[in-house]
Amino acid sequence: MYVLIDAGSTVALRSSASVLSGQVTRLGRGTPVVVTNNLHKTRGFVAVQTADGRRGYVEATYLTLFQPSPPNSPLIVLDPGHGAYDPGAVRAGLAERDIVLSVARQVAGLLAGKVDLTLTRYTNDYYPSLGDRSAMANALSTSRFVSIHINTSSAGSASGAESYYYKGTTSVQLARAIQQRLTGYAGMRDRGVHFANYAVIRGTQAPAVLAELGFLSNASDRAKLADPAYQARYAQAIADGILATL
């Protein structure tokens, strides 16, 4: 992984997993490290080793799988909903947790090299709390935060994509840009852009959107959500929507 921090700033490599422990050294933007933790996480201290063999602990918030772009690049935080013990919506053997992670990884692949990137989770063995997801974004110089989800309903007829914001003109613009592309690229029914008091976007200081890609409870939507070709379309829609608002 790589240290993700503002140019000119550094993070501490500590001798133990505590802010009270001594500093082994300071790590600058883009420094590569190998994470040696058994369990993946994106909040709290993780054990790492530097390229020159120094070992210690770094706050995981400041690590990313994606090599940072040139300084002053916008930072995008992607939030695949749910994870680990929380599968989210489940229908016909499909879990929201798995699909949104696949889409988020593809969004990151499309944006890599254009912006700075980090994800609130990179695997399905980890569940960051809603507060952790917002706190992670707030600890960084975040430009955009996009939480990716899938809907479900007791009514099998409910279908389509919708996008939510909590506050701010830029959040509304971001929601509209993503929503327009979800409906256009993937042919989803347009359920519109709406205000919502969702904790993960309410608690994020940067422009923030929660995108619902479709309904797992609807047979037509579910077929698209399960299809890798359509997952790529969802990813392209989100990536293009983000870039359109930067």
Q: Where in the chain does DSSP place strands (E)?
A: 2-3, 10-14, 23-28, 33-35, 45-50, 55-59, 63-64, 75-80, 90-91, 94-95, 116-119, 142-151, 161-165, 190-195, 208-215
Measured between alpha carbons, how far is 204 from 183 in angstroms, rounded to an integer?
A: 26
CA count, 13 A, side-chain hemisphere, 110: 20
d(CA 225, CA 60): 31
Is the CB of residue 113 less than 8 Å from the CB of residue 74? Answer: no
Rounded distance, CA 176 to CA 38, Å?
40
Characterize the bridge pairing of strands 90-91 and 94-95: antiparallel
Give every CB contact of residue 227 below 8 A, 6+ residues apart in sequence.
none
Q: Which residues contact 39 (CB under 8 A, 6 or more apart)?
A: 125, 126
Burial grade of 115 (CB within 10 A; 0-12, 13-18, 19 or more): buried
Can 162 be counted among the known catalytic residues? no
Q: Which of 59, 96, 162, 212 is catalytic?
A: 212
In degrees rounded to 5, what are phi and psi of residue 17? Answer: -80, 65
How long, in residues, is the chain? Answer: 246
Residues that are catalytic? 212
